[in-house]
Amino acid sequence: MLRLESIRTAVNNVQFNRFRFWLQLFFFVLLVYGGYLGIELGKSLPTFACGYNKEGRGGMCYLMTLQHQMEWPWQKLFSVAGLTVLSTFGIFYLWFIALNKGWCGFVCPVGTIQDWITSLRRMTGIRYSRYSWGQFQWLAQIKYVLLALMFLIPLAIGGGWFQKDLKSPFCMICPGRTIIPLFSADFSQLSIDFSSKTNMIMTGLGLAVTGLFFIGSFVKKRFFCFYCPMGAFHYLLSKIALLRLKKDGSKCTRCGDCFRVCDQEIKVIADDVTQKEIMTDDCIMCLKCVAACPEPGALKATFAGIPIFASTEEGFIKRMNKGCSDGK
């Protein structure tokens, strides 16, 4: 058993931020340049492996497939052909169950870009901004509105009320569409399509959101993830996911360290000492809170019940002293 203990303490005392940086970089290369290496993970990935990045993508974001399927004419959608919608959803769900919202925290290329922009800001020494608690609450509803629109508009297209130009509405305003193809030198998305008023408006909105994305994520950590419908969609399905974030209220001194390092500024994680399952809809499972918790065993991430990363004292001391000169 000693082996397991030593492995467990080694994992718990890892320099977590450095580990997460390299993992994110790996997933970024996998999903944005996987295509060139012949990797094809299918069309229902629960993360923003953008479909517009045609050659390079290692797999396609499920939202594009979903919207594409929702646009089918209703006879086809609700006919036998509709079964393919269920099967792609099934594959998406299997992918999702493995990492729960860890997809957002570790895998999503758009998220990784935002973290890079944040570290750029840190180098320049500019302060980050915070939402006040009032703003946080009503801004948190936007992602559900976007999720609803992402379903309704394509269905309306399929039903014939909206014209085809409104196809995959969320993809048009998603910053992934304009930014991820840049990484494989495809600038075609950075243009406004004047061929019809709808296209003009949608691509215009898309580029406005891209601009907003850049300044937003420069001043606010993980700016876009707070409004992302994929995160909302994940949360609705996260009941039986394997990767879990658990909190032991009795160990918690409510010191608020987890809230301090949380990119999404979720107060519940610091203040709630009764709930066992502590993942909220805004959470991106980046596990920075577990890394920043000084109380042993208060916060831990479990995979199918087995604790894989738990907060420990010496881990905390090692991570929080990294900033000091003698680095001990």
CA-based nearest residue to 54, from 187, 163, 247, 195: 187
Binds other proteins by CB under 8 A, chosen from 86, 188, 239, 240: 188
Whole-angstrom Cα distance, residue 30 to residue 36? 10
**Residue from 123, 154, 143, 85 nearest 283 by CA:** 143
Give me the residues paired with residue 244 across strands: 302
Q: Which of 38, 160, 305, 323 binds other proteins (CB under 8 A)?
A: 323
Under the binding rule (CB under 8 A), the answer on residue 321 touching other proteins is: yes
Q: Which residue of 125, 160, 185, 305 would you call a contact of other proteins, by CB under 8 A?
A: 125
Residue 260 as a binder of other proteins (CB under 8 A): the answer is: yes
Q: How far is the CB of 70 from other proteins (least distance, A)?
A: 13
Report if residue 159 touches other proteins, rule: CB under 8 A: no
Residue carrying structure tokens 């594409």: 68
Minimum distance between the CB of residue 57 and other proteins, rounded to whole angstroms?
13
In the complex, least distance from residue 147 CB atom to other proteins, rounded to whole angstroms:
23
Helix (H) or strand (E) holding 309: strand 306-310
Interacting positions 132-151 with other proteins (CB under 8 A) = 132-133
Residues in contact with 65: Cβ distance below 8 Å, sequence separation at least 6, in sequence order: 43, 44, 51, 88
Does 320 help bind other proteins (rule: CB under 8 A)? yes
Stretch of 84-92, 104-112, 228-236, 269-277 lying at the interface with other proteins (CB under 8 A): 269-277
Q: Which CB, 100 or 178, lies closer to other proteins?
A: 178
- Here's the x/- map for other proteins, 195-234, by CB under 8 A: it reads as xxx-x---xx--xx-xxx-xxx-xx---------------
Q: How far is the CB of 214 from other proteins (least distance, A)?
A: 6
Residue 252 as a binder of other proteins (CB under 8 A): the answer is: yes
116 Cβ contact list (under 8 Å, min separation 6)? none
Among 142, 149, 155, 255, binds other proteins (CB under 8 A): 255
Residue 202, CA atoms < 13 Å, CB-side half-sphere = 20
Cα–Cα distance measured from residue 84 to residue 310, given in angstroms and rounded to the nearest whole number: 40
Contact indicator for 251, 295 with CB cutoff of 8 Å:
yes
* Smallest separation (angstroms) from other proteins to the CB of 93: 22
Give the one residue of 251, 281, 303, 307 binding other proteins; rule: CB under 8 A: 251
Is position 254 an interface residue for other proteins (rule: CB under 8 A)? yes
Q: Is 18 in the site for other proteins (CB under 8 A)?
A: no
CB 44 within 8 A of CB 67: no
Q: What angle do CA 271, 129, 50 make, to 5 degrees?
A: 95
C-alpha closest to that of 258 among 243, 270, 273: 270
Q: Give the span between the Cα atoms of 135 and 49, in whole angstroms.
A: 30
Torsion angles phi and psi, residue 76, rounded to 5: -70, -40
Could you list the residues that contact other proteins (CB under 8 A)? 54-55, 122, 125, 127-129, 132-133, 164-165, 167, 178, 187-188, 190-197, 199, 203-204, 207-208, 210-212, 214-216, 218-219, 249-257, 260-261, 267, 270-271, 273, 288, 292-294, 313, 316-317, 320-321, 323-326, 328
